[in-house]
Amino acid sequence: MANQKVIFFCVPNFHMFNISNNYIMNIEHQQILKLLTAYLNKNPELRFTQALFNLDINQKPISKDPFNRDLRDNYGDKDSSVLHRIVDRLEQFEKQNN
């Protein structure tokens, strides 16, 4: 055990996992990360948080105040809903570019 390297990483809900325990992400997590990775590779000038906002992962609450800088609490969002929002945004970007 003394020679074994242990790596920790943080996931969105802030729990710490040990990679050596072979945790496996669900399919939606894998798809979200693949889409986010592809988007950041295509747009390397973006900051990470900009990409989250652009892809509708982080959202503003509905407000009449155009200067409202709050983000909607998305704690209860299903992974499938987040994935659907990302795909919708990417399709919107494609339509704008064509």
- Does some domain include residue 11? no
What is the Rg, in whole angstroms, of the alpha carbon atoms belonging to the chain?
17
Residue-number span of the structural domain to which 75 is assigned: 25-97
Q: What is the pLDDT of residue 11?
A: 52
- Does some domain include residue 4? no
Q: What is the pLDDT of residue 22?
A: 61
User: What is the DSSP track for 57-77?
Assistant: SS-PPP-S-TT-------TT-
Q: Are 71 and 59 in contact (CB under 8 A)?
A: yes
- Does some domain include residue 15? no
Q: What is the pLDDT of residue 1?
A: 44
Q: Are 19 and 9 in contact (CB under 8 A)?
A: yes
pLDDT in tens, the chain (98 residues): 455 554 445 555 545 455 555 667 889 999 999 999 999 999 999 999 999 999 988 887 777 887 787 777 887 889 999 999 999 999 999 999 88
- Does some domain include residue 10? no
Q: What is the pLDDT of residue 14?
A: 47
- Does some domain include residue 44? yes
Count how many domains the chain has: 1
Q: How many CA atoms lie within 13 A of 52 on its CB side?
A: 10
- Does some domain include residue 78? yes
- Does some domain include residue 37? yes
